[in-house]
Amino acid sequence: MTAAPYYEVFKALSAEAMLVVTAFVALALDLVSLRRAEMKTRSRTLGTVAIVGLLASVIPLWLQVRQDSVVLLGGTLVVNELSAIFNLFIVVLTLLTVVISMGFDVGRHVGEYYATLLFGAIGMMLLVSTEELITIFVALELTSVCLYILTAFHKGELRSQEAAVKYFMFGAISSAFLLFGLSYVYGLTGATNLREIAKVIQANGASPLMAVGLLFIIVGFGFKVAVVPFHLWAPDAYEGAPTPVTAFIATGSKVASFFVFAKILIIGFGGMAGSAFWGGFNSGWTMLLAVTAVASMVLGNCMAIVQRNVKRLLAYSSIAHAGYIFVGLLAATQSGTTSVLFYVIVYALTNMGAFGVVAALSTRAGGDDMENFNGMARKAPFLSLLMLVFILSLAGIPPLGGFFGKFYLFAAAVERDTQNFGLLWLVVIGIFMSAVSLYYYLILLKHIYVLPPKEDVAVATPTYLNVALAATALAVILLGVFPESLLELLKPLVVHL
């Protein structure tokens, strides 16, 4: 066995290394010199440190986009253009989370907060750039543990504690399922690398035990991306967590989880896809995904209708969106996967913006129930306008990114079988459920735009936050008006996936 190419590994991980250093700098700085400083100064200073570190990590990632793809340590690390792009995207999401957090009260342990946030981001980045089961599991756990801790950061609030415990319990069970499934797969194939697993499956065919392993993997990831029936933690965790953390859970962790989930299914288990065509059902993971997708789209949207809390509403809406994404995923074609990646990017940006606005306004409006947002269009016209953009994008109204994302997702699903329109039944359910979703999105916008405020006082928000959220909204609009550039970027790359 040759010596591991340490230099190459370090080069491939230099962005992550920078973030580790940044996290420790933040911790040390907080411990050494900021203990006695005012809360606001601490938060601003440490936030700035984190931002500097994140911006610095952009440089190596940018270089990775340009260079050829590298496979290291037998698939433990796979650095190619696609993974670099998604790592960059996770850095951007983390950056936005930090900006949102800077104006938010996260309790006494500011240094720990930012450090944990960065560690979580590192876990997500590793998740994106690996094709090996054990590393996938370790990276997933790194992310999850950081997110459990972050959820509990509102120490004084019972809601936050309950959410964290619930999130942790469900997360731990899902990890157990995942690990159990992975062990079956390893036991049957003797490989942990996804491409080798695929070769073995192709050579030996799918055994029933392998199907059990795959089922457990899907259950495990079903928890992580919160699809019905594994969604129960999501509404409580979203509501209880400090809002910037909610934003991070809803975006960063979803992006990484969907990316690696697509990788596992398409690279590793492409040979066990089965068929979800209407009238031609055949067992396999597409059928499982079809069932969960339908359940998520229907239940997520219907449950969202009765919510009175904005964060809970967005939680149920994100369950529904996970259902839409599954429809694209189970098309299992090049354009299907492209559409999933496109949708995940748009969805993450939109949700980040929406939670950002909620974080900015809820502390100043006294809560995150719908009533607290009454008449917000008068009190904070600019952020309300941004919220309008984000919510309408989630509802899939043109010319916003969410519309084109949904259009392309469903188009890809129809394209899978244009002879008999085999997947049209899923698309029909998805489209009608998104008509239902417009109802509750409009109810939220009604509170913001139509209903009168309780007291007509202007809500002031920091300029840096307004700029960051406006940039996010601009990106959502541009992705809707000119989706071509991102599509052209992603489409040739998904072949390597």
- Where does this chain bind other proteins (CB under 8 A)? 377, 392, 397-399, 403-404, 407-408, 410-411, 414-415, 418, 421, 424, 427-428, 431-432, 434-435, 438-439, 442, 445-446, 449-450, 483-484, 487-488, 491
Residue 471 or 489 with smaller CB distance to other proteins: 489
The least distance separating other proteins from the CB of residue 413, rounded to whole angstroms, comes to 9
Q: Which is nearer to other proteins, 178 or 377 (by Cβ)?
A: 377
**Distance, CA of 243 to CA of 206 (rounded, Å):** 44
In the chain the first and final C-alpha atoms are separated, in Å, by 27
- Nearest residue (CB) to other proteins, 218 versus 433: 433
Q: Which is nearer to other proteins, 135 or 339 (CB)?
A: 339
Cβ 161 to other proteins, closest distance in Å? Answer: 38
Shortest Å distance, C-beta 345 to other proteins: 16
Count Cα neighbours of 132 within 13 Å in the Cβ-side half-sphere.
16
**DSSP-assigned letter for residue 78:** E
Distance, in Å, from the CA atom of 125 to the CA atom of 86, rounded to the nearest integer, reads: 8
Closer by beta carbon to other proteins, 326 or else 441: 441
CB of 484 to other proteins, least distance (A): 5
Among residues 164 and 391, whose Cβ is nearest to other proteins? 391
Judged by beta carbon, residue 268 or residue 422, the one nearer other proteins is: 422
Q: Rounded to the nearest whole angstrom, what is the least distance from the CB of residue 392 to other proteins in the complex?
A: 6
Name beta bridge partners: 70: 79
CB of 310 to other proteins, least distance (A): 19
| Contact present, 254 and 265 (Cβ < 8 Å) | no
Q: Measured from the CB of residue 404, what is the shortest distance to other proteins in angstroms? A: 8
214 CB-near residues (< 8 Å, 6+ apart): 181, 185, 269, 272, 285
Structural element, H or E, at residue 201: helix 194-204
Q: 172 vs 38, 148, 164, 205, CA distance in Å?
A: 37, 10, 12, 31
Give CA–CA dist 43/41, Å, rounded: 5
Dihedral sign from CA coordinates of 260, 138, 129, 18:
positive
Give start and end residues of each alpha helix (H) in 67-132: 81-102, 110-128
Select 371 or 488, whichever has its Cβ closest to other proteins. 488
Nearest distance, CB of residue 250 and other proteins, angstroms: 24
Burial class (CB in 10 A: 0-12, 13-18, 19+), 364: middle
Could you tell me how many helices (H) and strands (E) the chain has, helices first?
21, 2
